[in-house]
Amino acid sequence: MTSSISRRLIFWLAVPLMLLALCGALVHYFNSVAPGVISSDKRLKEAANALMAHVIVKNGQVILDTGAGADTGPGRRPPMPAADSIHYALHDSLGRLFAGDPHLAFVPMGSETTQLFAMAQIDHRSLRTLTTRFDTRAGVIFITAADVRPATEPAARYGFMSTLLWDFVQLDLTLVLVWVGIQLGLRPVKKLRDEIAERSPQDLRPIVESTIPREIVPVVVTLNRLFTTLRTSVQSQQQFIANTAHQLRTPITGIQAQLDLLLAEPAAQPVKSRLLTLQEGIRQLAHSATIVAEVVARFFDRALQSNIDLGAEVSPVSILADPSLLDDLLTNLVDNALKYTPAGGTVTVSTGKKNGRPFLAVEDTGLGIPESKRQHVRQRFYRVPNSPGHGSGLGLAIVDGIARLYDASMIIGPGANGRGTRVFVQFPESSIARG
């Protein structure tokens, strides 16, 4: 599965931005809560100190003196905490309440702890409390003070949620804008893709680099190098095929003369019927298709040695194409057919028109190609598993490439009666040579 640059960029932007939004909301939340918590803790400590100042021991008992004045001058005790802001409770070491609000639960503490902050539920309200361990002559007492002023945490929590929501709305809008920006930024890449896709297989012109963004210039430079290499390779291949075809052309009249002499020999009588078939095929080829005649004649000796009946059924047809490439196309088809046809089989080359379009076909009575493999054999270096011989797997790939070059279709199917293979190459009507 191919990856998308756009999606990858959005992902790598979205994750850090979401983390930043969350961290920002948390910082805002703690900045809103922390001052309130610090202020509340300060009031609770002051209340605990004031309460300790009013604890006295009388007749061996600990009591809370609430009748002291409010003057806080020198020598005066601090005033009792206001009831509307601080609730308190005093417990002995056994947890028995002897002063204050009975709703404040006893909080036991070890000797190693002197003060402990906690949260308590009173009248369905969450209150912050401070419990102080206080040693007196009559024993240990525990002073618990609770701040009943309106807490800032609910408002801070609401602020946190609203901030987080707004941050994520901004994040969504930012990602949308980034996505639009990426799509606009990738337009030159898509334009380059479309330009290459619209080219025909033989169009190997270099891409103009001056119209390409700097970021993808290295890619275009590499593509142009590849186009240059392919163009040189194709030209070399065409020249090689043309030169080879020229050197390998055998005059049909010479073959006919040799067959006439061979038929007159007594030693040829056992195979006379086969030679007559070959002679008739050569005669038809001489009057109809020069390239077909040359290719078929080239494989006569091989067909005879393999005891394969190589023949032709041709109707005159001419197309506008490079003769060397058509020669290469037919050569690969006949070579494949002979290679995979056992002794006693037949290979037939046929040409003509079907539905007004010229065609060239090669049919054999060989092993055949399974339907599931017919698309794969078009690929370079692919051979059907357990195939005989030591082929390179290039034959049908070359045929398919040449056919595509001339907008022809190549159909691979079974031969007559479902036996063997028939490769049918049909050219467009526009390729017919006129006049």
Give yes or no: residues 144 and 272 share one domain.
Answer: no
Average of per-residue pLDDT values in the chain: 77
Task: Provide the pLDDT confidence category of residue 246 given band limits of 50, 70 and 90.
Answer: very low
Q: What is the CATH number of the domain that holds 257?
A: 3.30.565.10
**Residue at which a domain ends, from 155, 170, 195:** 155
In terms of average pLDDT, the best of 142-146, 190-194, 286-290 is: 142-146
Q: What is the largest CA-CA distance in the chain?
A: 155
Give yes or no: residues 150 and 258 share one domain.
Answer: no
Give yes or no: residues 277 and 385 share one domain.
Answer: yes
Q: Identify whether 353 is part of a domain.
A: yes
Give yes or no: residues 148 and 254 share one domain.
Answer: no
Check pLDDT > 70 for residue 341. yes
pLDDT of residue 329: 92
Structural domain of 99: 5-64+75-155
Give yes or no: residues 135 and 259 share one domain.
Answer: no
Check pLDDT > 60 for residue 302. yes
Q: Identify whether 210 is part of a domain.
A: no
Q: What is the CATH number of the domain that holds 83?
A: 3.30.450
Q: Identify whether 232 is part of a domain.
A: no
The answer to whether 111 touches 96, Cβ cutoff 8 Å, is no
Q: Identify whether 296 is part of a domain.
A: yes
pLDDT of residue 376: 75
* CA gap 195, 104 in Å, rounded: 80
Give yes or no: residues 261 and 141 share one domain.
Answer: no
Q: Report the share of the chain in percent with pLDDT over 70.
A: 78
**Residue at which a domain ends, from 155, 179, 201:** 155
* CA gap 178, 230 in Å, rounded: 39
Give yes or no: residues 122 and 262 share one domain.
Answer: no
Check pLDDT > 50 for residue 113. yes
* CA gap 335, 329 in Å, rounded: 10
Q: Identify whether 319 is part of a domain.
A: yes
Check pLDDT > 90 for residue 359. yes
* CA gap 155, 29 in Å, rounded: 9
Task: Provide the pLDDT confidence category of residue 360 given band limits of 50, 70 and 90.
Answer: very high
Q: Identify whether 326 is part of a domain.
A: yes
Task: Provide the pLDDT confidence category of residue 248 given band limits of 50, 70 and 90.
Answer: very low
Task: Specify the pTM.
Answer: 0.37
3-state secondary structure 52-106: HHCEEEECCEEEECCCCCCCCCCCCCCCCCCCCCEEEEEEECCCCEEEECCCCCC
Check pLDDT > 70 for residue 264. yes
Check pLDDT > 60 for residue 274. yes
Give yes or no: residues 261 and 394 share one domain.
Answer: yes
**Residue at which a domain ends, from 139, 155, 171:** 155
Question: How many structural domains does the chain have?
Answer: 2
Q: Identify whether 377 is part of a domain.
A: yes
Q: Identify whether 206 is part of a domain.
A: no
In terms of average pLDDT, the best of 2-11, 58-67, 152-161, 261-270 is: 261-270
418's tokens:
């479902």
